[in-house]
Amino acid sequence: MLTMFEKHETDVSLLPIRKALNRNFIVVGGYNRSEGNKVIANGGADLVAYSRLFLANSDLPKRCELDVQLNKADSSTF
């Protein structure tokens, strides 16, 4: 889980909510490329939202496709 300022590891899972809703499930919360791919592959979500990363990388889909370095988000510009 990523708050506005730092990342926290947690044992809490959204999987019970995903199963209860039985529809497309979108997660957000500081995922990077590899974490996003992992949550999709493990069935934890259907889609991953990358809001802060998009603010810093307008070409985020291409950068993820090429697996290249991303610009760091500058929260002072949000």
Asked if residue 8 belongs to a domain, the reply is no
State the pLDDT at residue 73. 84
Whether the pLDDT of residue 72 is over 60: the answer is yes
Handedness of CA 3, 54, 69, 61 (dihedral sign): positive
The domain tally of the chain equals 1
Asked if residue 51 belongs to a domain, the reply is yes
Asked if residue 53 belongs to a domain, the reply is yes
Asked if residue 28 belongs to a domain, the reply is yes
Total length of the chain: 78
Asked if residue 27 belongs to a domain, the reply is yes
Domain that holds residue 68: 15-72
Do 1 and 10 contact (CB within 8 A), yes or no? yes
Asked if residue 9 belongs to a domain, the reply is no
Asked if residue 78 belongs to a domain, the reply is no
Distances in Å between the Cα of 70 and the Cα atoms of 16, 52, 58, 78 are 32, 11, 10, 17
Three-state SS string across 17-58, please? HHHHHCCCCEEECCCCHHHHHHHHHCCCCCEEECHHHHHHCC
**pLDDT tens by residue, 2-58:** 555 667 676 767 788 888 988 899 998 888 899 899 989 998 899 999 888 888 999
